[in-house]
Amino acid sequence: MHEMTQTQVIRNPHRQADSQLRRRWAKLRRNKAALFGSVLILIYLIIALLAPILFPGNPSAPNLMKSLERPSMEHPLGTDELGRSILGRIIYGSRVSLLIAIGVVMVGLLVGLPLGLISGYYGGKVDFGIQRVTDTLLAFPGFLLALALVAVLGVGLKNTIISVGISMVPIYIRLVRGCTLSVREQTYVEAARAMGTRDMTILIRHILPNVMAPITIQTSLGMGTAILFAAGLGFLGIGVQPPTPEWGAMLGSGRAYLFNAPHVATFPGIAIFFAVLGFNLSGDGLRDILDPRFKL
């Protein structure tokens, strides 16, 4: 009886997928670190969505009478050099940072995913060309590549997203190409090809779903890196520009007041740390669940 039930489950692909999902969810619930990471991301998402309710008013409006005030009941995290609430700016900063994180992985995916698929699937001269460009981009450490691109494109939110996004493209290309190389040799891909299925259909229907696991992991880890890179650019004064509340830029401006008001630089750093930690923990957890072979 038991054997029969198992066979039925295997025969029914929907039920099989369902049970696989349930198994993964159970694994996620058991992985406390990953769960903690997911909760952290969820908290940041809620803060970003409810920002106007959590902090009514303009977080960029200066109030020089309250400049560099220490944490108090009125301003729980104190005020910055222009008298703006640091808590308010951190709350609104979560919107900017999440936007950057999503924008950056979108750029990375939009460019890196198709190029990686094409490079891995077709091989030959196409692969050679794409890989030499990737090699060149990988010859620069990611942050430096983003820095070089900012030097060309200029500062600001949009250019930060593009620059950091492009710096992630070679990572996606390499990752997707590697997975595609192994998937394209599978019997089901060969069968699809033998049946005369078009390359585009094979790429989208048969190869793409099978490279999704490493992409999902990289996307979570990439969002953490994107926040760090963008905050780094903001800190150097070449990322998102004031008065937009961005954590890195807040830290950068707080650097000048380390002696008399260290809280100005302390709290934005904590905000960056927990956001990146959230994405890293979730990425690690996803790796354990989706692809345990890569567990370090």
List 144, 191, 204, 212, residue binding another protein (CB under 8 A): 144
Strand partners, 85: 79
* Minimum distance, C-beta of residue 17 to another protein, in the bound complex (Å): 31
Q: Is 54 in the site for another protein (CB under 8 A)?
A: no
Pick the closest to residue 87 from 101, 73, 102 (CA basis): 73
Looking from the CA of 196 toward its CB, the CA atoms found within 13 Å total: 0
> Hey, which residues between 207 and 266 contact another protein (CB under 8 A)?
224, 228, 231-232, 235-238, 248, 251, 254-255, 258-259, 262, 265-266
Cβ proximity to another protein: between 65 and 152 the closer is 152
Residue-wise over 244-258: b if at least 16 C-beta within 10 A, else e?
bbbbbbbbbbbeebe
* Minimum distance, C-beta of residue 227 to another protein, in the bound complex (Å): 9
List 280, 282, 285, 286, residue binding another protein (CB under 8 A): 280
Q: How far apart are CA 100 and CA 244, in angstroms?
A: 13
Q: Is 273 in the site for another protein (CB under 8 A)?
A: yes
Sequence-distant contacts of 59-63: CB under 8 A, at least 24 apart: 59/84, 59/85, 59/88, 59/89, 59/91, 59/92, 59/245, 60/84, 60/89, 60/243, 60/244, 60/245
Number of other CB atoms surrounding residue 106 within 10 Å: 13
Is the alpha carbon torsion for 173, 176, 179, 183 positive or negative?
negative
* Minimum distance, C-beta of residue 239 to another protein, in the bound complex (Å): 11
Q: Is 44 in the site for another protein (CB under 8 A)?
A: no
Instruction: Please count the residues of this chain forming the interface with another protein, following the rule CB under 8 A.
Output: 45
Q: Is 148 in the site for another protein (CB under 8 A)?
A: yes
Q: Is 289 in the site for another protein (CB under 8 A)?
A: no
Reading the block at residue 83, the tokens are 């008298």
Query: In which residue are the tokens 């959230």 written?
Result: 278
Cβ proximity to another protein: between 59 and 232 the closer is 232
Cβ proximity to another protein: between 147 and 169 the closer is 147
DSSP 12: -
Q: How far apart are CA 107 and CA 97, in angstroms?
A: 15
Q: Is 52 in the site for another protein (CB under 8 A)?
A: no
**221-272-141-33 Cα dihedral, nearest 10 degrees:** -30
From the list 82-90, 118-126, 208-216, 268-276, the region that binds another protein by CB under 8 A is 268-276
Q: Is 115 in the site for another protein (CB under 8 A)?
A: no
* Minimum distance, C-beta of residue 94 to another protein, in the bound complex (Å): 15
From the list 13-21, 82-90, 148-156, 173-181, the region that binds another protein by CB under 8 A is 148-156
Please give the residue ranges that form the binding site for another protein (CB under 8 A). Answer: 33, 132-133, 135-137, 139-144, 147-148, 150-152, 224, 228, 231-232, 235-238, 248, 251, 254-255, 258-259, 262, 265-266, 268-269, 272-273, 276-277, 280-281, 284, 295-296
